[in-house]
Amino acid sequence: MQALTDRAVPVDRRPLNFWEKMYLPGIFRGMAITLKHIFRKKATINYPEEKRAFSPVFRGLQILNRDEEGRERCTACGLCAVACPAEAITMEAAERKPGEEHLYREEKYAAKYEINMLRCIFCGFCEEACPKDAIYLTETFAPSSFEREHFIYGKEDLLIPLPGEETKNPQA
Amino acid sequence: MTEKHIQLRQDSLQKETTTLNLGPTHPVTHGVFQNILEMDGERVVGATSTVGYIHRAFEKLAERRPFYQITPLTDRMNYCSSPINNIGWHLTIEKLLGLRVPKRVDYMRVIIMELARISDHLICNSVVGVDSGAYSGFLYLMQYRELIYEIYEEICGSRLTTNIGRIGGFERNFNDKVFSKLDKFLAEYPGVLAEFERLFNRNRIFMERTIGAGPISAERALNYSFTGPNLRAAGVDYDVRVSQPYSSYEEFDLKIPVGKTGDCYDRFLVRNQEMWESMSLIRQALQKMEKEPADIFHADAPAYYLAPKQDVYTKMEALIYHFKIIMGEIDAPVGEVYQAVEGANGELGFYLISDGGRTPYRLHFRRPCFIYYQAYPELVHNALLSDAVICLSSLNLIAGELDA
């Protein structure tokens, strides 16, 4: 083969010399390295008891946000559903009635909002698409359940609870 | 068949050879692919490789997705180095749109891609060790993949299926934590890699196990259209980063390690050497980045790159572009582009035909693994079963990339 570039560097493939041919040096060198590692600090953590810190931008399960007065921010515009490459988000819009101003921020809100967590690929496009700061990806990850239906998260699982309200745990 | 065997009828129960299923769920295949081996004792006399166990029709799916939504699909091809796939796809779109990205974005991309290459080679080489019976090297190296994944996590928020970068740049700038983690990695990894090389490179057991296992000549490798480390191990100094530079690779000082015989030992050495090269590339990129303005992390292209959220809430233009981009109403020109990047496994190509619509008219991923797998029966012909296993892992076959 002619060379395509002048940057090629052949790898070191010389045959074993006499010293290396005796198995023992290789074995002892390996043993020494392994022994050295016994006295090193553990690289693992005991997961459920200890947890490592995530980066602030970690992409975990979604939540639906409220504004500073506790009203739902989502207006059911559907941009998150359009942006979702896994087609995991569905929603139904409804119109705000007089007297519901303390519940919903805008005149339109999501009557139904579902994310199928089994379809979700946690790409973060919904958060990026949202023009109302309503959907966020949190640091929660690895939900578990015995039933597939439990992974279709509705509004009651996704909305962050109002202060004073009991936290609903979707995994329970 | 050799003469020493007793001749039996073809339909006899005591056939001369044994059929052995290596895969699809065998622990040594490291992924779902099947090899039907014809075994004569311990010797492989024939192999039939089957593909399609993890086929997810990405190329067809991509025909119904806006351009930006195809990035998460590319994550799931070679999942050991998904940032290279992501950035390769962004480069393809930028080539189609004729978008120029600032130099600093190029250097950021180089850093991320080289980190991904290190993490991929690290897994491949340590797994070659595992398959040849040396587990400890794998344990020691794997801790340092964690450092790479933490860097990804700081930038994009995810570790394995990264979905990193956007068309025109990155989703957020590198923060101080990224730089400190990069410095930590660059400071600690050389020592670990040197230790790994001390364990393996001149170890007689490892050398006798890998030298001569699964060799391929340069000519045969080219006929199969091998690329990447597997072709370089056969002695051809072909590297996309040098022959068709992208993302400002032409400015970097890069050496191409080449082997001679294309056997497992050569592939191992080439990959190890490439990790050293990648580290030097990251250092060069960090140096070059210092000269660029530190607040640039995307191209100035409001029609393709999302405006910051604050502008979307307050400015009309930004809001319109935000909706247009998210809904995929991108004015892609009619055209055909091919963009290749040097993936961790070889030339990862994206062949895109656009008919001017919102989605690709047709998209083909040139996946190097698929090509290597075609050569597998030839590589393991007349080899021992244990050599066939090492050969599988040292070709770095990754099921997600094999089937797309």
What digits encode the pLDDT tens for the residues B344-364?
A: 989 999 999 999 888 999 999
Alpha helices (H) in B132-164, listed in sequence order? 136-156
Residue-level pLDDT at B1: 44
Which pLDDT band holds residue A162 (cuts at 50, 70, 90)?
A: confident
CATH architecture of B49-402: Orthogonal Bundle (1.10)
Task: Note the pLDDT tens digit of each residue in B248-281.
Answer: 999 999 999 999 888 999 999 999 999 999 999 9
Number of Cβ within 10 Å of residue B130's Cβ equals 17
CB environment B355-377: b (16+ within 10 A), e (fewer): eeeebbeebebbbbbebbbebbb
Strands (E), B173-315: 256-258
Model ipTM value: 0.86
Q: What is the pTM of this model?
A: 0.91
Taking an 8 Å cut-off on Cβ atoms, the answer to whether A58 and B157 are in contact is yes
Spatial distance between the Cα atoms of B120 and A134, rounded to a whole number of angstroms: 37
Closest CA to B51 of B82, B73, B29, B66: B29
Taking an 8 Å cut-off on Cβ atoms, the answer to whether A57 and B72 are in contact is no
Q: Does A79 touch chain B (CB under 8 A)?
A: yes
Which amino acid belongs to residue B39? M
Residue-level pLDDT at B366: 92
Chain A neighbors of B329, CB-CB under 8 A: none
Spatial distance between the Cα atoms of B79 and A151, rounded to a whole number of angstroms: 25
Task: Note the pLDDT tens digit of each residue in B372-398.
Answer: 999 999 998 888 888 888 998 898 888
Whether B96 and B332 have beta carbons less than 8 Å apart is answered as yes
Taking an 8 Å cut-off on Cβ atoms, the answer to whether A55 and B158 are in contact is no
The tokens 């100035």 sit on which residue?
B300
**Phi, psi dihedrals of residue A32, rounded to the nearest 5°:** -65, -45
| Domain residue spans of chain B | 49-402
Residues of chain B with pLDDT under 50: 1
Closest CA to B202 of A92, A60, A25: A25
Domains of chain A (ranges; CATH) run: 62-158 (3.30.70.3270)
Residue-level pLDDT at B19: 87
Task: Note the pLDDT tens digit of each residue in A47-93.
Answer: 888 888 888 899 999 999 888 888 888 888 889 999 999 999 999 99
Helix axes B136-156, A23-38, angle to 10 degrees: 50
Spatial distance between the Cα atoms of B80 and A108, rounded to a whole number of angstroms: 44
Determine the distance in angstroms separating the CA of A170 from the nearest CA of chain B, rounded to an integer. 23
Closest CA to B178 of B146, B154, B145: B154
Whether A151 and A116 have beta carbons less than 8 Å apart is answered as yes
Determine the distance in angstroms separating the CA of A110 from the nearest CA of chain B, rounded to an integer. 19
Between A11, A79, A83, which is nearest B266 by CB? A11
Which amino acid belongs to residue A137? L
- Cα distances (angstroms) measured from residue B172 to each of B137, B138, B156: 35, 33, 8
